[in-house]
Amino acid sequence: MFPEQLNVPLGKWVNQFVDWLVINYGTAFEAFADSLLTILVALEQLLRGAPWWLILIAIAAITWHASKNWKLVAGLVIAMFAIGTLGLWDKAMQTLALMIVATSLSVVIGVPVGIAMAMSNRLRAIMLPVLDTMQTMPSFVYLIPALMLFGLGKVPAILATVIYAAPPVIRLTDLGIRLVDPEVLEASRSFGASRKQILFGVQLPLALPNIMAGINQTTMMSISMVVIASMIGARGLGEQVLMGIQRLDVGAGMEAGIAIVLLAVVFDRIGQAYGKRSQRTSSAEDGQ
Amino acid sequence: MSYIEIRNIFKIFGPDPDVALELAKAGSDKEEILAKTGNTVGLHDVSLSIEQGETFVVMGLSGSGKSTLIRHLNRLIDPTAGQVSFGGEDILSMDIPTLNAFRRKRLGMVFQRFGLLPHRNVMNNVAYGLEIQGTDRKTREAAASKWIDRVGLAGYEAKFPDQLSGGMQQRVGLARALATDPEVLLMDEAFSALDPLIRSDMQDELMKLQAELHKTIVFITHDLDEALKIGDRIAILKDGKLIQVGRPEEIVLNPADAYVQAFTRDVNRGKVLRARSIMEPVKPASGADGFSTAHAVRYDTRLEDILPVALGSDTAITVTGHDNHPIGTIGKKQILDALSVHSND
């Protein structure tokens, strides 16, 4: 038996810290939550309000823009159509809105953090264990403080999703920038390029294929969070799975599961097509 | 004072440069310092003067510090101790914006593995330096076109680096460095990654360009033949120390030590040595009498071109100076001495 005198009251400290946050910064968190919620609700209304065929056309247009491949366009449109035939169109649009907001937030936070990590070895040494923690810590653990700070609903769901899904885009931005050929960097320095000119003119364009791969992974991970997010009140496909569990309705759970997979496939293929396109810019005229 | 002055440069790589610097200044050598302190001495008390308009070659094997040295000239690397100045301007005291302005206006650099921007086509690679300077699109594309044409790549403007051969990529590298019309061209093993025939072509091309442009060129190589071919003067580095500086013929005829001599042993002397260095000088008093005018060569004729003349003559042949007056003679003895590697032992 481990001696009780050596117990560290970490749990108590964390509780005190969260209480302190709620008491002192409660209003700030609320304001942040409100603005996030406004964006999410607007997007959700747009997606749910738009006619289903318009969404299909938009998916087709995006896929065509990314891949210039008719077969892929047809395949992804059929996949989206299949979600509709399962009777889950409206819930899929709710999930889609949640996913878009969570992914955008992850990218907006993740890319600059990745850039900073690539610039500073010290920051990288600090961030790597933090990222590991973000990815391995069971999501329920940080759902508790998120609930305390933001209440039940969509906002804590988004934040939990961002914590889980942001690490890939951070890691791959860092990696992509670090993989840029040092001689190319030396060349641009030797021509007197400033740090800003090097970052935007050389490092980011050359890291783009890796950053795109990171965004793709982040998207996939945020889709995979929808079931957990539904437990704290986010609506959508995850809610349907949760209902299937609660009512032991295997069929309903299966339908929702298939819809989640289809949604994931659609956005994975689109993300990959953009990733390939960013790699191709170095020999764009090959035309494939 | 020379155009580029490098004064007592030390460069120490490692955890504790100050301690290592003290040891280096006290005369310890590279291995001793590495064993004692764990620091690597990159450059050990190197001083060089490079004149405006000359092609100055720094020669050394890998690990000799030659690439480190050239990076001090545009401060891609800062020295541990020492001074570097261009035209009297101390570049080590420049702050970042001044340094960037200096690099933009006055320096161009060519890299061993080309260092081309893989996401830009030939046109935009060559125009890169001007773009960094903020030149407008039309002006920089006009200048880039001129240099692309000049290095023989007209028609390839829209190609990307990965679509070109090594030789063509390095032509892009050269055009890019020249497009900003820099005073100084830094070339870091620029031709070392190329096939022998392409390398020789590029050397000729560079010499042709230099004959018109009169840039100050600092050229790094590990190949003595290349150094002797293109260099007006050559510096030889070993283990971060400067061993010898001199004209190609001085290096070949009077190697400073066994190390340099080992290098020069396999050199094609016929291509390096010229009449003036191997002749027996005329004594000032003897005047112009008794010289063969049928068998004469100019003072700067290469040994390989002297040989046929000498073989066609029974007596010693005449060497003439700037004004066609005889300044010396070359007989069989001088030729044999020049061709013999051990003539100076």
The answer to whether the CB of B234 falls within 8 A of the CB of B245 is: yes
- The B241-246 sheet, strands edge to edge: B107-110, B184-188, B216-221, B55-59, B233-238, B241-246
Average pLDDT of the residues in B214-238? 93
- pLDDT for B113-169, tens place per residue? 999 999 999 999 999 999 999 999 999 999 999 999 999 999 999 999 999 999 999
A202/B contact by beta carbon, under 8 A: yes
> Does the pLDDT of residue A69 top 70, yes or no?
yes
What contacts B77, CB < 8 A, 6 or more positions away? B11, B68, B71
Predicted pLDDT at B297:
85
> Does the pLDDT of residue B25 top 70, yes or no?
yes
> Does the pLDDT of residue B344 top 80, yes or no?
no
- pLDDT for A179-233, tens place per residue? 999 999 999 999 999 999 999 999 999 999 999 999 999 999 999 888 788 888 8
CA separation for the pair B317, A213 (Å, rounded): 75
When mean pLDDT is compared across A97-111, B237-251, B295-309, B330-344, the lowest value belongs to B330-344
Predicted pLDDT at A288:
34
CA distance B132 to chain A (A): 6
Q: How confident is the model at residue B293 (pLDDT cuts 50, 70, 90)?
A: low
Predicted pLDDT at B148:
95
Which tokens sit at A284?
A: 């764009």
Which of A192, A197, A282 has its CB closest to that of B119?
A282
B133/A contact by beta carbon, under 8 A: yes
Is the reported ipTM for this assembly greater than 0.95? no
Query: Which of B103, B112, B119, B121 has the most A C-beta neighbours within 10 Å, making it the best mutation to test the interface with A?
Result: B119
- pLDDT for A5-57, tens place per residue? 888 888 889 889 888 888 888 888 888 888 889 999 999 999 999 999 999 99
Q: How confident is the model at residue A286 (pLDDT cuts 50, 70, 90)?
A: very low
Predicted pLDDT at B342:
59
Look at A202 and B103 and tell me if their CB atoms are within 8 Å.
no
Mean pLDDT over all residues of chain B?
88
Residue of B nearest to A280 (CA): B119
Which tokens sit at B117?
A: 């921007």
Predicted pLDDT at A11:
87
CA separation for the pair B334, B339 (Å, rounded): 9
How many beta carbons lie within 10 A of that of residue A108, not counting itself? 12
What contacts A74, CB < 8 A, 6 or more positions away? none
What B304-313 contacts at long range (C-beta under 8 Å, 24+ apart), as own/partner pairs, is: B304/B268, B304/B270, B304/B271, B306/B275, B306/B330, B306/B335, B307/B270, B307/B335, B310/B335
Pairing relation of β-strands B280-281 and B81-86?
Answer: unpaired
Reported as type and span, the H/E element at residue B186 is: strand B184-188
Predicted pLDDT at A58:
95
- Which of A59-63, B255-259, B276-280 has the highest mean predicted lDDT (pLDDT)? A59-63
Measured between beta carbons, the chain B residues lying within 8 angstroms of A287 are none
From residue B24, give the alpha-carbon distance in Å to each of B69, B182, B242: 17, 35, 14
Which of A183, A206, A284 has its CB closest to that of B115?
A183
CA angle A126, A145, A34 (to 5 degrees): 100
Q: How confident is the model at residue A284 (pLDDT cuts 50, 70, 90)?
A: very low
Average pLDDT of the residues in B86-90? 89
Q: How confident is the model at residue A285 (pLDDT cuts 50, 70, 90)?
A: very low
A194/B contact by beta carbon, under 8 A: yes
> Does the pLDDT of residue B285 top 60, yes or no?
no
- pLDDT for A116-170, tens place per residue? 999 999 999 999 999 999 888 888 887 787 787 788 888 888 888 898 999 999 9
Measured between beta carbons, the chain B residues lying within 8 angstroms of A193 are 100, 132
CA separation for the pair B331, B235 (Å, rounded): 31
CA distance A208 to chain B (A): 11
CA separation for the pair A100, A6 (Å, rounded): 46
Look at B103 and A187 and tell me if their CB atoms are within 8 Å.
no
SS3 B343: helix
Predicted pLDDT at B227:
92
Predicted pLDDT at B283:
66
Query: Which of B117, B131, B184 has the most A C-beta neighbours within 10 Å, making it the best mutation to test the interface with A?
Result: B117
Predicted pLDDT at A283:
46
Measured between beta carbons, the chain B residues lying within 8 angstroms of A189 are 76, 103
pTM of the model as a whole: 0.82
SS3 B341: helix
Q: What percent of chain B stands above pLDDT 70?
A: 95
SS3 B177: helix
CA separation for the pair B295, B280 (Å, rounded): 15
- pLDDT for A220-236, tens place per residue? 999 988 878 888 888 88
